[in-house]
């Protein structure tokens, strides 16, 4: 997960996506990976997919503050 987040922070979105996919393939209900992969989708112009992933992360961890923050920011972008 740390490698995927580092790639994401460095703007290497393809590498980050591969990392998040690998995590979610092994652990589909991993809320941190769902959240960050959702953020990546939103940043890549796929807000519907991103919001769905973040929503799933919030279902798994309702008190996930960063996910709430990013969900709200994405909804504001969408109007």
**Which own/partner pairs from 14-22 qualify as long-range (CB within 8 Å, at least 24 positions apart)?**
16/40
Note the pLDDT of residue 6. Answer: 98
pLDDT digits (tens, 9 = 90+) for 26-67: 999 999 999 999 999 999 999 989 999 999 999 999 999 999
Contact 58, 28 (CB under 8 A): no
Q: How confident is the model at residue 18 (pLDDT cuts 50, 70, 90)?
A: very high
Q: Rounded to an integer, what is the distance from CA 3 to the centroid of its chain? A: 14
């Amino acid at each position: 997960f740390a490698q995927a987040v580092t790639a994401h922070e460095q703007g290497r979105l393809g590498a980050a996506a591969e990392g998040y996919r690998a995590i979610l393939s092994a652990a589909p209900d991993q809320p941190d990976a769902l959240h960050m992969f959702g953020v990546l989708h939103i940043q890549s112009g796929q807000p519907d997919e991103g919001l769905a992933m973040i929503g799933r992360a919030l279902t798994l961890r309702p008190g996930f503050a960063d996910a709430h923050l990013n969900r709200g920011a994405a909804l504001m972008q969408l109007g």
